[in-house]
Amino acid sequence: MSRGESAMRPITVLSQASQFKSHNLFTRGQANRLIFVIPLKRVITVPTLRPLEQFVCDVCGDLIENVEDGYVIYRCENYRDCGFKIIHQGRCDDNKAPKSEALKEFLGARGLIMLTGFLSPGPIIINLTHPEIDESPKSLDEFTDFFRRVQVPFYEEARQKFNQPGLLHEFHGDNELFPYFEETLRDICDTEFDD
Ligand SMILES: [Zn+2]
């Protein structure tokens, strides 16, 4: 059963010896052809999210089981958008957020237009109006996180581990892109890191 077919994967009980497997996705220094293989404790975790179909609610912390149940809320400060949250529509919406959109609007190719629209109005509007006010997101760190949640497979699930000391230790010294490639994120999902 592939990850895309179900939110639940079978639990695999690994022997003590097999819990530590070398995994070449964690190979560093490919550019200069050096190979370092880091032993990682690998266990199967359940449940898992269906990539880009299921999300974790930023209000209640529970699973958003279907895209149709998801909602995005945010606000604007000095013309700049911020506070992006993915939440359960209705159930976790206190109706206080001044801006909102259905989660599905941020997914797929159409979602890329929505997301890049936060970064630039694009050449046609720029040529027409010559905007002078910076309306880009207030925090590009926050916006990049949101962008990747709705566009990059396995980011949403892997993201739940981004503050774990064991994970931070594993990626110490890596460049800023390596942790977020799909293959690396999938590996993070399947790895149990030390706290
Ligand atoms: Zn919720």
Taking a 5 Å cut-off on Cβ, the residues next to ion ligand 1 are 57, 59-60, 88, 92
Confidence tier at 43 by pLDDT (50, 70, 90): low
Q: Are 122 and 179 in a shared domain?
A: no
Would you call 21 helix, strand, or coil by DSSP? strand
Say which residues have a Cβ less than 8 Å from residue 105's Cβ, sequence separation at least 6.
72, 111, 114
Ligand 1 centroid from CA 99, angstroms: 17
- Mean pLDDT across the stretch 165-178? 94
Q: Are 60 and 111 in a shared domain?
A: yes
Confidence tier at 194 by pLDDT (50, 70, 90): confident
Whole-angstrom Cα distance, residue 165 to residue 162?
8
Q: Are 84 and 131 in a shared domain?
A: yes
Q: Are 146 and 159 in a shared domain?
A: no
Does 132 have pLDDT greater than 80?
yes
| Strand ranges inside 94-147, DSSP E | 99-102
Number of domains in the chain: 2
Ligand 1 centroid from CA 144, angstroms: 22
Whole-angstrom Cα distance, residue 65 to residue 84?
19
Whole-angstrom Cα distance, residue 42 to residue 188?
9
Ligand 1 centroid from CA 108, angstroms: 23
Residues 114, 146 contacting (CB under 8 angstroms): no
Tell me which amino acid residue 183 is. E
Q: Are 66 and 138 in a shared domain?
A: yes
66-85 pLDDT per residue, tens:
999 999 999 999 999 999 99
Q: Are 73 and 140 in a shared domain?
A: yes
Determine the structural domain holding residue 24 and report its residue range. 17-49+155-189
Is 42 inside any structural domain? yes
83-113 pLDDT per residue, tens:
999 999 999 999 999 999 999 999 999 999 9
